[in-house]
Structure formats: structure tokens, C-alpha cells
Amino acid sequence: MSEVTPALTASAQEDAKSSVFGEIKSFLHQFFIKAFDPYRPELHYMRGPGPACRAKEMALSPAVQSMLAEIRAAKTTNKAAKSQAPS
């Protein structure tokens, strides 16, 4: 007995090859988009005041700077007094 194997025509073979290569190409394209994404939000996250805020404070008049220093000192003494107060 002879065994019947399906014979693909030339156009069917090219379609099979192109679909396989198309799938591979699509997979690699998506992989590289996700793996090498230029947006990294952790690089844009700022913790605390940045250099612009410091420059702005340095541009303040000496009278305003002394007031700010007094306010900050009062805040720290209040925090220290609250932490030492019995509960």
C-alpha cells in the first residue's frame, strides 16, 4: 500500500513560510518594543525639592531667609517636644 501525503503547492508553501516568518517578525518586534522601552517613570520621580527649588530659595532676600530659618527651627523644636512628651 502506498501512503498518501499532502503535497503543498508552491504558493501554499510560501504562505506557510511567510506566516511563520511573519509571526517571528511580529514577536521580535513586540519583544524589542517592550524590552527597550525608552519611557522609564522611575527616572522622572523626584523625592523632595529639586535644584530649582534650592535656587529659588537662594534668590530670596536675607530677611526672608532668616524668617524661613526661624520657622524651620520652631518646627523641629515642636517635633522634638512632641516626641518627648509622655503619652
28-32, 47-51, 65-69: segment of lowest average pLDDT? 47-51
Question: Residue 87 is which amino acid?
Answer: S
- What's the pLDDT score for residue 70? 92
Query: What is the pTM (predicted TM-score) of this model?
Result: 0.31
Report residue 51's pLDDT band, with 50, 70 and 90 as the boundaries: confident
Average pLDDT (15-31) is 84
Provide the CB-side half-sphere exposure for 77 (13 A, CA). Answer: 6
Number of domains in the chain: 2
Let me know whether 31 and 55 are in one domain.
no
Let me know whether 52 and 80 are in one domain.
yes
- What's the pLDDT score for residue 26? 92
Does residue 19 sit within a domain?
Answer: yes
Does residue 5 sit within a domain?
Answer: no
Report residue 1's pLDDT band, with 50, 70 and 90 as the boundaries: very low
* Dist. CA 71–CA 60, nearest whole Å: 15
Let me know whether 55 and 32 are in one domain.
no
Query: For all residues of the chain together, what is the average pLDDT?
Result: 77
- What's the pLDDT score for residue 25? 92
Structural domain range at position 65: 48-84
Let me know whether 32 and 56 are in one domain.
no
Let me know whether 36 and 55 are in one domain.
no
